[in-house]
């Protein structure tokens, strides 16, 4: 039997209209209603809004969590199961839900508070670099205070995070095919999120974590783990720590994974994994039709 990993994308994969095919699915309707009671607003309405409300952090993260959770449950209902799971930033919450580390409501309440804190963050900025010399970048980051490697996506694509001055200094001195500032409200996955992380930890401590049913590769520690205390500790560190996606990708074949299914909108993660692990089979599940095709 092919050993399969499920991976869940985070912020940046959202799109207007995502989840439109789920609105008539009984199991999805129940989750949308439950989410509206918790959030005070409608996931389908935000996702279908033509003014791109879904791209505001406050809405993006809960929308992705709910839609990806529904798709994961649809796969499980059809008899599918992963050997290991991982998620990129926000996606790690869905990975933990899919591994049954916590229930749907607990995960959504965590994501809601995380989104509120990150949406209100006003200190710092982020920038993506594509096509660069890794050694040059690492040296410049080490020499420049107040900027860190936030997302290590693959060998040729990273995101840096820090104060505007420090991010500009790195962008101006490291040769890259492309360097672009991101439209975000703060310096996510950096020490500048320490206050938000401390506030978030008080919410996280109220949530009961269970032993994961399958191993989870975490952003801050890409080694497989199922222990509830370990997974919670890793989540505590995620808001200020780097997303080590390149290492997660490299650890998949080491764990015997032969196939990766990206569960959620877009194809961001399979695109990143393809560059790092070209021999792994890649599939995407972003709609109910994709679920049916996969299990067909």
The pLDDT assigned to 155 comes to 94
CA separation, residue 244 to residues 134, 153, 177 (Å): 15, 7, 22
Task: For the chain, list residues with pLDDT below 50.
Answer: none
Alpha-carbon torsion 7, 220, 109, 46, what sign?
Answer: negative
Identify the active-site residue in 189, 190, 218, 249.
189
Answer whether 48's CB lies under 8 Å from 17's CB.
Answer: yes
Distance of CA 78 to the CA centre of its chain: 24
Pick the CATH number of 4-121+190-295 from 3.40.366.10, 3.20.20.80, 3.40.190.10, 3.20.20.100: 3.40.366.10
* Residue 89 designated active-site: yes
The pLDDT assigned to 123 comes to 87
The pLDDT assigned to 258 comes to 97
Distance of CA 128 to the CA centre of its chain: 16
The pLDDT assigned to 295 comes to 87
Can you state the angle between helices 57-77 and 26-39, rounded to 10 degrees? 150
H or E stretch covering 24: none
CATH number of 125-181: 3.30.70.250
Q: Where in the chain is the domain with CATH 3.40.366.10?
A: 4-121+190-295
Coil, helix or strand at residue 278:
coil
User: Which residue has 């199922």 as its token pair?
Assistant: 226
The pLDDT assigned to 122 comes to 79
Q: Where in the chain is the domain with CATH 3.30.70.250?
A: 125-181
Q: What are phi and psi of 291, to 5 degrees?
A: -60, -45
Answer whether 65's CB lies under 8 Å from 264's CB.
Answer: no
Identify the active-site residue in 89, 161, 190, 242.
89
How far is the C-alpha of 57 from the C-alpha of 32, rounded, in Å? Answer: 19
Strands 216-217 and 84-87: parallel
Token couple for 32: 């949308």
* Residue 189 designated active-site: yes
> For residue 107, what are the contacts with CB-CB under 8 A and spacing of at least 6?
65, 69, 93, 94, 96, 97
pTM across the whole model = 0.97
């Amino acid at each position: 039997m092919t050993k399969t990993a499920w991976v869940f994308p985070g912020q940046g994969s959202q799109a207007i209209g995502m989840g439109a095919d789920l609105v008539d699915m009984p199991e999805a309707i129940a989750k949308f209603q439950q989410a509206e009671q918790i959030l005070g607003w409608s996931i389908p309405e935000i996702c279908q809004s033509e003014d791109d409300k879904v791209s505001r952090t406050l809405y993006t993260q809960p929308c992705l969590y709910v839609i990806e959770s529904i798709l994961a449950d649809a796969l499980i209902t059809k008899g599918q199961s992963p050997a290991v799971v991982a998620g990129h930033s926000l996606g790690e919450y869905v990975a933990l839900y899919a591994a049954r580390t916590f229930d749907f409501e607990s995960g959504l309440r965590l994501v809601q508070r995380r989104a509120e804190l990150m949406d209100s963050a006003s200190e710092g900025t982020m920038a993506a670099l594509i096509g660069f010399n890794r050694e040059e970048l690492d040296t410049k980051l080490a020499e420049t205070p107040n900027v860190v490697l936030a997302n290590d996506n693959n060998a040729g694509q990273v995101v840096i995070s820090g104060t505007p001055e420090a991010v500009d200094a790195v962008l101006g001195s490291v040769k890259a095919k492309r360097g672009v500032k991101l439209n975000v409200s703060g310096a996510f996955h950096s020490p500048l999120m320490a206050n938000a992380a401390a506030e978030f930890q008080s919410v996280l401590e109220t949530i009961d974590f269970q032993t994961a049913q399958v191993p989870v590769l975490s952003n801050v520690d890409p080694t497989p783990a199922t222990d509830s205390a370990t997974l919670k500790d890793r989540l505590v560190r995620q808001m200020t720590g780097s997303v080590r996606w390149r290492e997660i990708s490299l650890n998949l074949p080491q764990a015997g994974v032969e196939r990766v299914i990206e569960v959620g909108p877009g194809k961001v993660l399979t695109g990143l994994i393809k560059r790092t692990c070209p021999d792994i089979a890649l599939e995407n599940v972003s709609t109910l039709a994709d679920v049916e095709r996969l299990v067909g």
